[in-house]
């Protein structure tokens, strides 16, 4: 059905073959992906794409995302950068998109192998959680410490990877994860559960690591309200509330991901793939629990001293990755 | 003895017994549960969750259901935050306009249902999508951060002891709703239409007006919950409301509401909210495996509803014997 829609669009003369009209499609509305919009605009400017538009499904539902993708094909989009709504369930839609001749890349999150996605460009979530926990252990100081871990939706396969990574880092340091609170990447449950936990167990923990956006925001506010800087915390992402809490000393630092780089480099790669390049089989791919074609878009720990310049830090990572991207991961006719 | 027996037959007795029992057991097993700070956290949850439950309860009373309570609450919440940040409106003015949006959204639901005769399930399913879509279109999934300090303080400070300021509007709503449903013609009309639409119509009640009014009240309550959540969270999160549906049904049903309409209890619904909040807290306090949390929560809600039903059947049986 999608192939027919794409064919009709091409026959209608809506799109020239050398015009890349890319769509950046997250799994649903979430502030993490907002940087994709600017990334798309910058990619259009820098790589001369026809367009690279940020298109958000109305809700976090695989069906809503699939319907949006189908509609985008009929609107003439011919390259897709997709955060898979489900690592397995999205595979069939991605295959349909690929059948239209459009390059499809999984960005932000991966599809489970085998899939028709060219590769996966995203945060190595386990590595990020592991590094974040190590930073937390460092700021908590010596002695056996107790850590609480606040994380995202359990249906997201990344959540279990994060839980395991935090546990691994803690055990390696001789510390203990005393509580994992999951399924709280939404304001109401995060507010209720994190505050309830801190009300009852604030004296039983030395550190908090958060590995999802909303829990990071809520925990930052909770620590500010308690006003107790004894409990150290390492957050994730770049919400203003978190960054301000880092500045004010209520949060030790935050593990930044690189959504901008994912969108920007993803759009660059999709355009190259539309114009004759192919994915290099023997590139130095990393592997994660889902795919053996993974590229780490980078992560960096930002403490109070670097919070004002975090954008530069992420742009630096993006620039470094882009400078060698084509030579490392693609085969292009010269 | 007769007084006690009579009280046992009320809607609120079962949920009250469960609440007291749960507080006693959890408080004994985990003393921090009864700490001032934890009671405060519980009251914060009760303040907003009670309004969410009421916004569904009033629709259940009229014999319908409203799937769009979360979407209305979310839309009003981001409208409230957005009007303060983008237009620089004073908080009280923004709150009134946001409440107006909630009332209008609810009234629209009611008008469509009353005029078309299509089931409330279908209409509110569609409007859920519309309201959520407007929310996403306005925010582009980005929170509004420009919340005035006075609003943040209202959402996070306490009046006295563990009593948060947020509980104040909720208490007023509890009293207002009780008065509406028990003492005012509109409230009696809502229950009458829910109990038997045809009989209500024959007795001169305007069913259309009653349905529209019930939905407008529901929208207003959802909007108030959204506004209060903005104050509590200190940001206008676009995902406010996404999680409301289960709670909005669970609390009134635990409180003995008849889903086919005509019978709801304000007090028992408040206790239903308390039970859900206590269960949620207990799961955190007792370090329940995160993968089991949803299962335990669902099972306990089912248990509470089952107990309520069993009580109803016993009362019905003893009434027959008499």
pLDDT at A1: 46
pLDDT tens-digit readout, B92-110: 999 999 999 999 999 999 9
**Does A241 contact B145 at a Cβ distance shorter than 8 Å?**
yes
**Does A186 contact B239 at a Cβ distance shorter than 8 Å?**
yes
Confidence band, pLDDT 50/70/90 cuts, at residue A203: confident
CA–CA dist A244, A221 (Å, integer): 10
**Does A59 contact B132 at a Cβ distance shorter than 8 Å?**
yes
Q: What is the CA radius of gyration of chain B?
A: 20
Question: Which among B133, B240, B281 is the nearest to A187, CB-wise?
Answer: B240
Confidence band, pLDDT 50/70/90 cuts, at residue A11: very low
Confidence band, pLDDT 50/70/90 cuts, at residue A310: confident
Q: What is the mean predicted confidence (pLDDT) over A268-291? A: 92
Average pLDDT, rounded, for chain B? 89
pLDDT tens-digit readout, A164-177: 999 999 999 999 99
Q: Are B99 and B227 in contact (CB under 8 A)?
A: yes
Q: Are B138 and B78 in contact (CB under 8 A)?
A: yes
Q: What is the mean predicted confidence (pLDDT) over A118-141? A: 94
Where are the domains positioned within chain B? 2-321
Write the DSSP string, A63-126. Answer: HHHHHHHHHHHHTT--EEEE--SSTTTTHHHHHHHHHTT--EEEESS-PPSS-S-S-EEE--HH
Question: Which among A58, A59, A188 is the nearest to B243, CB-wise?
Answer: A188
pLDDT at B11: 75
- Three-state DSSP at B222 gives helix
Tokens of A239: 């919400």
Residue B317 in this model has a pLDDT that exceeds 80: no
- Three-state DSSP at B165 gives coil
- Cis peptide preceding B136, ω within 30 of 0: no
Choose the weakest-confidence range: A42-46, B276-280, B283-287, B312-316. Answer: B312-316
Q: Are B181 and B190 in contact (CB under 8 A)?
A: yes
Using CB atoms within 10 Å of the CB of residue A239, give its burial: 0 to 12 exposed, 13 to 18 middle, 19+ buried.
Answer: buried
**% of chain A exceeding 90 in pLDDT:** 63
Estimate the crossing angle of helix B36-61 against helix B69-86, to 10 degrees: 120
CA–CA dist B118, B120 (Å, integer): 6
Angle at B29 between CA B23 and CA B32, to 5 degrees: 75
Token pair 């899939």 is found at A115
User: Which domains, from first to last, does chain A contain?
Assistant: 2-123+258-298 (3.40.50.2300), 125-256 (3.40.50.2300)
Chain B nearest C-alpha distance from A196 (Å): 6
Angle at B229 between CA A61 and CA A215, to 5 degrees: 60
Question: Which among A30, A58, A181 is the nearest to B132, CB-wise?
Answer: A58
CATH class of the domain comprising B2-321? mainly alpha
CA–CA dist A217, A245 (Å, integer): 9
Confidence band, pLDDT 50/70/90 cuts, at residue A334: low
pTM of the model: 0.79
Tokens of A214: 């909303």
Chain B nearest C-alpha distance from A226 (Å): 10
Residue A276 in this model has a pLDDT that exceeds 70: yes
Q: Which residue did the predictor score with more confidence, B9 or B93?
A: B93
Confidence band, pLDDT 50/70/90 cuts, at residue A155: confident
First CA to last CA distance, chain A: 35
Helix (H) or strand (E) run with residue B79 in it: helix B69-86
Tokens of A74: 């009929």
pLDDT at A289: 80
pLDDT at A62: 86
Q: What is the mean predicted confidence (pLDDT) over B111-134? A: 94
Token pair 């109990």 is found at B195
Q: What is the CA radius of gyration of chain A?
A: 21
Burial per residue of B299-312, b for 16 or more beta-carbon CB atoms within 10 angstroms, e otherwise: ebbeebbeebeebe
Tokens of B203: 């007795």
Residue A10 in this model has a pLDDT that exceeds 70: no
Q: Which residue of B has its CA nearest to A240?
A: B145
Chain B nearest C-alpha distance from A158 (Å): 14
Question: Looking at the DSSP assignment, which residues form a beta bridge with residue A300?
Answer: A256
Residues of B with CB under 8 A from a CB of A: 30, 32-33, 35, 37-38, 40-42, 44-45, 48, 129, 132-133, 136, 139-143, 145, 156, 229, 232-235, 237-240, 242-244, 277, 280-281, 284-285, 287, 290-291, 293-294
What ipTM does the predicted assembly reach?
0.75
Q: What is the mean predicted confidence (pLDDT) over B266-291? A: 85
pLDDT tens-digit readout, B181-225: 999 999 999 999 999 999 999 999 999 999 999 999 999 999 999
- Three-state DSSP at B27 gives helix
CA–CA dist A218, A203 (Å, integer): 19
CA proximity to A25, closest of A90, A99, A112: A90
């Amino acid at each position: 059905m999608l192939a027919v829609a794409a064919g009709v669009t091409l026959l209608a003369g809506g799109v020239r073959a050398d015009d890349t009209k890319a769509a950046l499609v997250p799994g649903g509305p979430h502030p993490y992906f907002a940087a994709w919009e600017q990334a798309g605009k910058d990619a259009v400017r820098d790589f001369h794409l026809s367009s690279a538009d940020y298109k958000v499904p109305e809700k976090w539902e695989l069906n809503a995302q699939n319907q949006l993708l189908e509609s985008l094909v009929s609107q003439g989009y011919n390259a897709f950068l997709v955060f898979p709504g489900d690592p397995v369930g999205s595979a069939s839609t991605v295959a349909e998109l690929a059948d239209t001749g459009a390059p499809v890349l999984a960005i932000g999150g991966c599809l489970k192998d085998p899939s028709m996605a060219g590769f996966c460009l995203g945060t190595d979530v386990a590595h990020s959680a592991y590094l974040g926990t190590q930073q937390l252990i460092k700021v908590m100081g010596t002695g056996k410490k107790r850590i609480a871990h606040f994380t995202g939706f359990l249906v997201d396969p990344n959540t279990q990877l994060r839980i395991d990574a935090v546990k691994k880092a803690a055990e390696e340091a001789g510390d203990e994860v005393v509580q994992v609170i999951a399924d709280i990447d939404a304001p109401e449950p995060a507010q209720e559960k994190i505050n309830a936990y801190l009300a009852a167990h604030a004296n039983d923990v030395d550190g908090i690591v958060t590995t999802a956006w909303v829990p990071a925001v809520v925990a930052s506010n909770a620590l500010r309200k308690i006003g107790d800087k004894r409990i150290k915390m390492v957050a994730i992402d770049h919400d203003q509330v978190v960054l301000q809490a880092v500045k004010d000393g209520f949060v030790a630092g935050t593990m930044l991901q690189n959504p901008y780089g994912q969108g920007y480099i993803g759009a660059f790669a999709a355009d190259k793939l539309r114009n004759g390049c192919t994915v290099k089989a023997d590139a130095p791919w990393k592997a994660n629990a889902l795919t053996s074609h993974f590229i780490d878009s980078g992560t960096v720990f930002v403490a109070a001293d670097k919070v004002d310049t975090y954008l530069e830090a992420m742009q630096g990572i993006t620039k470094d990755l882009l400078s060698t991207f084509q030579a490392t991961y693609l085969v292009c006719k010269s | 003895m007769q007084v006690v027996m009579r009280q046992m037959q009320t809607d609120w007795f079962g949920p009250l017994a469960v609440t007291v029992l749960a507080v006693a057991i959890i408080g004994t097993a985990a003393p921090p549960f009864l700490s001032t700070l934890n009671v405060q956290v519980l009251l914060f949850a009760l303040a907003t969750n009670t309004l969410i439950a009421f916004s569904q309860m009033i629709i259940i009373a009229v014999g319908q259901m409203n799937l769009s309570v979360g979407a209305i609450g979310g839309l009003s919440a981001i409208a409230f935050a957005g009007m303060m940040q983008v237009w620089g409106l004073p908080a009280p003015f923004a709150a009134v306009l946001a409440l107006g949006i909630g009332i209008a959204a609810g009234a629209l639901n009611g008008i469509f249902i009353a005029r078309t005769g299509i089931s409330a399930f279908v209409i509110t399913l569609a409007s859920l999508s519309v309201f959520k879509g407007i929310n996403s279109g306005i925010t582009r999934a980005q929170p509004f951060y420009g919340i005035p300090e006075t609003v943040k303080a209202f959402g996070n400070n306490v009046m006295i002891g563990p009593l948060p300021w947020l509980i104040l509007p909720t208490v007023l709503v509890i009293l207002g709703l009780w008065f509406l449903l028990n003492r005012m013609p509109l409230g009696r009309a809502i229950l009458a239409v829910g109990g038997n639409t045809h009989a209500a119509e024959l007795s001169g009640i305007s069913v259309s007006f009653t349905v529209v009014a019930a939905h407008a009240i529901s929208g207003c309550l959802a909007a108030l919950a959204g506004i209060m959540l903005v104050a509590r969270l200190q940001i206008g999160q676009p995902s406010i409301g996404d999680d409301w549906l289960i709670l909005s049904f669970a609390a009134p049903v635990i409180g003995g509401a008849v889903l086919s309409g005509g019978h709801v209890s304000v007090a028992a619904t408040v206790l239903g909210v308390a039970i859900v909040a206590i269960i949620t807290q207990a799961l955190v306090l007792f370090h329940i495996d995160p993968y089991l949390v949803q299962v335990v929560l669902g099972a306990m809600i089912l248990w509470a509803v089952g107990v309520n039903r069993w009580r109803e059947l016993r009362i019905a049986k003893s009434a027959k014997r008499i």
